[in-house]
Amino acid sequence: MNPIARLAALGLSVAILASAAPALAQNASQIARVRGGASCPGCNLFQADLSNLTLRGLNLSKARLRQADLSTVVMNRVSFAGGDLRDVNAYGGVFGGASFARANLTNASFVGAFLEGANFAGANLTGVNFSGAEMDRAVGLSQGQLNRACGDSSTRLPRGLSIPGCR
Supply the pTM of this predicted model: 0.85
Q: Measured between alpha carbons, how far is 86 from 73 in angstroms, rounded to an integer?
A: 17
For the chain, give the mean pLDDT: 90
112 within 8 A of 95, measured Cβ to Cβ: no
What are the residues whose beta carbons fall under 8 Å from the beta carbon of 165, sequence distance 6 or more?
Answer: 150, 151, 152, 153
Structural domains of the chain ordered from first start: 24-167 (2.160.20.80)
Q: Classify the phi-psi angles of 132: left when phi > 0, otherwise alpha if psi is within -120 to 50, otherwise beta.
A: left
With cut-offs at 50, 70 and 90, classify the pLDDT of residue 12. Answer: very low
Residue 20 pLDDT more than 60? no
Average of per-residue pLDDT across 21-47? 88
pLDDT-based confidence at 24, cuts 50/70/90? low
Q: Does the pLDDT at position 39 exceed 60?
A: yes
In this prediction, residue 167 carries a pLDDT of 87
Q: Identify the pLDDT of residue 132.
A: 98
Q: What is the structure's pLDDT at 71?
A: 98
